[in-house]
Every structure is written in C-alpha cells, then in structure tokens.
C-alpha cells in the first residue's frame, strides 16, 4: 500500500520529464493538430501533390512541351481544275508581244473588232481560225481592193478574216463593207482557251505544233502535219506515230501540293468523269494500285480529293498505355503537363504567400508598434492598395507582356510579384491589430524597462506572438493564391504556352464540344485545383483549432 502511494507521488512531480513534455505548448498544439482528421487529410493531399509535381516530373519520360504525332487516312486535296476563261497565248520564237495582249485579245474576240492598237502603239489583229482560236498578227496598212479576189471570197465563205496570196498574208476587218480595210499581216502567235499537257513528263512543244494542233481542232480535222511529222487528232488526244503525245483540254489543272505531276492520262480520266457527272473515279498510282478520287464541284471549280496516309498531331488522344491521361489539342501528354503545371501552381502559391507575409509582417509590425502618425501613414498606404482594381490591372499587365512577347519564366516571376504586391494588405492589418493589443501587456512593459532595442522588441517579442495567426492565415491563403493563378491563366493572363499550369490547361478547353466530349482534358486539372485548395483550407482550419482550441467551443 505504501509502495503504491510512493509510486503515485513520484508520477505527480511537476519536474518529471514526461509531465513537462505533456505541458509543452508546441507539443500540445501538435497533438491537437494531429487529432484533426481533416487536417491530416489535407497534409496527405498536399504531400501527394508535391510528390506528383516535383518527383513525378523527374520520372516521366516526356516533357511538358513534347508534341506527339500519329498517322491517319485523311481526305486531302490532290488536284484542282477550272474551266479556262482566259486566252492561253503561244508566241513564235524570238517574238515579244505587248504586255496588254491578253486583255486586248479578250476584248477583240468578244466585240468582233479584230484590229486594235496595243498600249505601245503597235497595230495588231486577230485572225479568226475557229471557236475561241485566233492567230495573232502585226499589221501594216495596204490599199489593195479585194472585190474580185478569189482568196478573199474563199476566206469569207470559210468564216475567216484572213487569207494568203503567195508569201503574203492579208487580214481584213469587215467583210460586209464594199471595200473593207485590208492589212498586210505578219504572224506573231496563236491564242486559244486550251491547255496542252505532254504525255512525257517535262516534255515541251514547238510553236508549230501548238499552231497546227489548234487549227486542226478548230477545223475539225483528224490529222495535221508539222515539222515533217504527221499527228492524228482523236477528241482531245493528239497522237504521234501511234502513241499518245499530247492532251488538249479547255480545263486548267493544278496540283494541290507542289511537286505532284498530273499526267495527261489522269487529266483525261478526271475530265471524262466530270463530263459523265460522276462523283468519283479511280485511277492507278505509280505502283499500279487503283486509287479512288472524290470529285467536288464548287461553282464550276472542281476539286479532286483522295485519302492519304498523313502524319498528323495526335490531338485529343484518349487515355492509353503511352499516355495515361491522354493528350491535349496540341498533341502534348496531359500527365506530363499536369506534373509540370503543378510545379508552377504550387510554386506561385508559396512564393506569393511568402512575399505577402514578409511585406505584411514588416508594415503591420511597424504600424502597430509605433502608432500615431506612422500608423496613419502606413494604414493610408494599405487603404490605397486595397482600392487598386485588381482585374483591370491584370488585364493591362497581361497585354503589356503579350505585346513584348515575354518569356514564360518572366511571366511567372511577374505574376508572383504582382499578386504579392496587391495581396499583402490583409496580413498587414492582422499583424497591426495583434501588435496593438500585445504592446500594452506586462511583458512588453518589462522589455521596455530593461532597455531592449526597438528592433528586438518588435521582431523578437511581438512578431513571434503573431506567428500562429500568420501561419493560419498563410495556410488558408495558399489556396486562394492558387485559385487566383488558375483564374488568371484560364483568362489568358497568366502562364502562356508552352509552359503549363493547372489553370492554363483548363484554358485550352474553349468550347462546349471539347468540354463535353473530352472530359480527360480539363477534369484532372480542375480536380487537382479543387483538392489542393481544399487541402490548404483543411490545414488552415486545423492549425486555427490547434492554436486556439476555444474556437471549437
């Protein structure tokens, strides 16, 4: 019995180590904090976010700006065709026509006034061969009468306005006149709304071939001879020695991609399909594989399209083994961007809070300790900062950085500074209010009586007593800063591409279609922001209850 009483007395000694440890204020705060399950959950969430952002970014093999590609069969433009509505002019070797010959030819053919003067003062004329086919002549005036000229009569009967006598060619303007104006004509070129394509890639034609082909087609001839060679005409195809030599058409073809050769056979197949009103046609490629071409007609302009295997950006790829969270609109791995974006969001939060606490603690401490005119001046500064419209300021500064094309890292630093310079006023008021009440207590009177310097009284005795409130305010303010950064990045005022933050990731979802169809693009970033802000609020509530347990009563 006596032994039990002695044991109890020993356990109740005030200087016992276990007893002192239990009464330690810091340990009491810690124990009260860890009893708060929500606060512990907040610690776990924040620890995960830091591990995910800073360690995960080192482990993942992708960078935040790495673009991924894939191959797809895409219907792409292969060629285009337009009906020729301008004259194609070929000139004889060594002949140079005036610059306005195209417009003059079009006007003369439409009005029937085949004699005209160019901008350079050169007298020119068109010899009508057939429908939309003309020989171009330079003219000299002559007074020869043609009423009894057999060659003239034959030309009129054939519907032509020129004829040849001997080695001289004559052109006349109006056959209805009794004595029409007649000119000595020298051939310079030929004009027609036709295009020529050689069956031999890179093949060229002589002027004589152009002229003979156009005249033969205009007159409905089945063959013609030029340069000692006989050519046969079968529709739009001209053959030489039994082999296809040239394709003549009134449609102008152009490849959609430079370097693509459109063979006459392909053009002929396309024209045949268009004339037959088909929506598609097949044509073998260089390997002999039949390829289907889709025909699209837009106001007389034809586009020929085919499916091609193309290397494209792997945008909005669904989650897979290669990309666990998928890819965004730019083909970047979303998991990597979430990790690197978490670094920026968390870094901005802690840097801004640190600067806010540092500035607010100094301003509030000085104002609360000295009071009087010092307090009035500093509080008026606080009021002025409170009155600054934050959103217009962010818009102006964001526009300035956009104008100067600031680097992503520079934008991060500027964003931290701007948010901190505007956000310290709340902390300054809290510190000032606490110090105004603490400076009149007995321990401060004793400190002043012992001659301790003002600096030590403020920063060694007063500020430490405000630290618990500062910790609570900072922990809860971290969530607000992260949320503000996400809002600014969502509005395009914060972090810019290619750098990522959780807010800028959500900003990429700029239409309802992407938002509803690709949840994996924005939902993880939004969830991380929600959990992080909630976790800091849990920690702040837990610290507040731990420092002042009366708040829960």
User: What would the pLDDT profile of 218-238 be if each residue is shown by its tens digit?
Assistant: 888 889 888 788 899 988 889
By the 10 Å C-beta count (0-12 exposed, 13-18 middle, 19+ buried), 438 is classed as middle
Q: What's the predicted TM-score (pTM) here?
A: 0.60
Q: What is the pLDDT of residue 136?
A: 92
Give the three-class secondary structure for 135: strand
- For the segment 78-96, the average pLDDT, to the nearest whole number, is 88
pLDDT number for residue 138: 92
pLDDT of residue 68: 92
DSSP assignment of 182-210 equals EEEEEEEEEEES-EEEESSTT----HHHH
What pLDDT, on a 0 to 100 scale, did the predictor assign at position 4?
A: 52
Task: Name the pLDDT band for 74 (thresholds 50, 70, 90).
Answer: confident
pLDDT at residue 304 is higher than 70: yes
Whether pLDDT at 451 is above 90: no
Q: Hey, is 444 helix, strand or coil?
A: helix
Which residues, including other chains, have CB under 8 Å from residue 275's CB and lie 6 or more apart? none
- 528 backbone φψ class: left, alpha, beta (φ>0; ψ -120 to 50): alpha
Helices (H), 371-462: 372-386, 390-403, 408-423, 425-438, 442-449, 454-456
Mean pLDDT computed over 509-521: 84
Percent of the chain residues past pLDDT 90, beyond the cut: 12
Q: Report which DSSP code applies to 159.
A: T
CA distances in angstroms from 170 to 141, 165, 167, 187, listed in the order given: 10, 8, 10, 10
Q: Name the least confident of 13-27, 259-273, 306-320, 415-429.
A: 13-27
Torsion of CA 101, 173, 160, 211, to 10 degrees: -20
Task: Inform me whether the pLDDT recorded for 189 exceeds 90.
Answer: yes
Q: What's the mean pLDDT when you consider all of the chain?
A: 82
Residue 174: the pLDDT is 63
Q: Give tens-digit pLDDT for 39-62.
A: 899 899 999 999 999 998 888 888
- Determine the CATH number of domain 29-68+322-552: 1.10.3720.10
In the prediction, which pLDDT does 533 show?
86
Chain centre distance of CA 539: 41
Give the pLDDT confidence score for residue 548 in this predicted structure: 66
The CATH 1.10.3720.10 domain(s) of the chain lie at: 29-68+322-552
Q: What is the pLDDT of residues 353-382, one digit of tens each?
A: 888 888 888 888 888 878 788 888 988 888
pLDDT reported for residue 23: 47
Report CA torsion sign: 528, 533, 534, 538.
positive
pLDDT above 70 covers a percentage of the chain that reads: 90
The model's confidence at residue 175, banded by pLDDT at 50, 70 and 90, is: low
- CA-based R_g, the chain, Å: 45
């Amino acid at each position: 019995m006596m032994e039990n009483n002695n044991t109890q007395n020993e356990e109740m000694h005030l200087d016992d180590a276990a007893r002192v440890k239990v009464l330690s204020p810091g340990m009491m705060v810690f124990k009260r904090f860890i009893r708060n399950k929500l606060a512990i959950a907040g610690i776990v969430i924040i620890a995960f976010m830091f591990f995910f952002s800073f360690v995960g970014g080192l482990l993942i093999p992708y960078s935040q700006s790495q673009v991924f590609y894939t191959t797809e069969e895409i219907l792409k433009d292969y060629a285009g065709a337009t009906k020729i509505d301008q004259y194609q002019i070929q000139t004889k070797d060594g002949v140079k026509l005036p610059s306005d010959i195209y417009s003059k030819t079009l006007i003369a053919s439409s009005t029937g006034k085949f004699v005209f003067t160019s901008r350079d003062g050169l007298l020119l004329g068109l010899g009508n061969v057939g429908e939309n086919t003309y020989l171009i002549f330079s003219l000299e005036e002559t007074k020869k009468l043609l009423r009894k000229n057999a060659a003239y009569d034959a030309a009129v009967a054939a519907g032509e306005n020129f004829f040849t006598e001997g080695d001289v060619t004559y052109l006349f303007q109006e056959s209805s006149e009794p004595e029409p104006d007649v000119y000595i004509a020298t051939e310079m070129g030929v004009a027609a709304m036709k295009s020529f394509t050689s069956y031999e890639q890179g093949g060229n034609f002589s002027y004589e071939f152009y002229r003979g082909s156009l005249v033969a087609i205009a007159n409905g001839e089945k063959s013609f001879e030029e340069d000692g060679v006989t050519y046969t005409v079968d529709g739009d195809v001209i053959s030489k020695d039994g082999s296809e030599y040239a394709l003549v058409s009134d449609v102008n073809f152009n490849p959609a991609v430079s370097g693509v050769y459109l063979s006459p056979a392909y053009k002929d197949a396309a024209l045949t399909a268009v004339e037959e009103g088909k929506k598609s046609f097949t044509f073998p490629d260089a390997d002999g594989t039949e390829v289907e071409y889709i025909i699209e007609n837009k106001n007389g302009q034809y586009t020929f399209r085919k499916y091609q295997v193309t290397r494209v950006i792997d945008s909005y790829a669904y989650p897979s083994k290669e990309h666990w969270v998928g890819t965004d609109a730019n083909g970047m791995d979303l998991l990597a961007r979430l990790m690197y974006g978490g670094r920026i969001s968390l870094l901005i939060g802690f840097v801004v809070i640190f600067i806010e606490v540092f500035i607010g603690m100094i301003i509030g401490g000085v104002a609360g300790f000295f009071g009087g005119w010092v307090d009035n001046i500093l509080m008026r500064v606080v009021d002025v900062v409170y009155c600054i419209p934050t959103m217009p300021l962010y818009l102006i500064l964001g526009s300035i950085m956009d104008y100067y094309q600031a680097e992503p890292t520079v934008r991060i630093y500027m964003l931290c500074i701007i948010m901190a310079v505007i956000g310290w006023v709340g902390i300054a008021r809290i510190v000032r209010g606490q110090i105004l009440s603490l400076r009149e207590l007995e321990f401060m009177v004793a400190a002043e009586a012992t001659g301790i310097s003002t600096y030590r009284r403020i920063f060694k005795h007063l500020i430490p007593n405000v630290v618990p409130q500062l910790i609570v305010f900072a922990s809860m303010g971290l969530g607000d800063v992260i949320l503000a950064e996400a809002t600014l990045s969502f509005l395009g005022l914060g972090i810019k591409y290619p750098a990522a933050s959780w807010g800028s990731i959500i900003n990429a979802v700029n239409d309802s279609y992407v938002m509803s169809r690709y949840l994996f693009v924005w939902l993880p970033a939004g969830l991380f922001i929600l959990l992080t802000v909630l976790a800091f609020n849990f920690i702040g509530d837990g610290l507040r209850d731990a420092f002042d347990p009366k708040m829960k009563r």
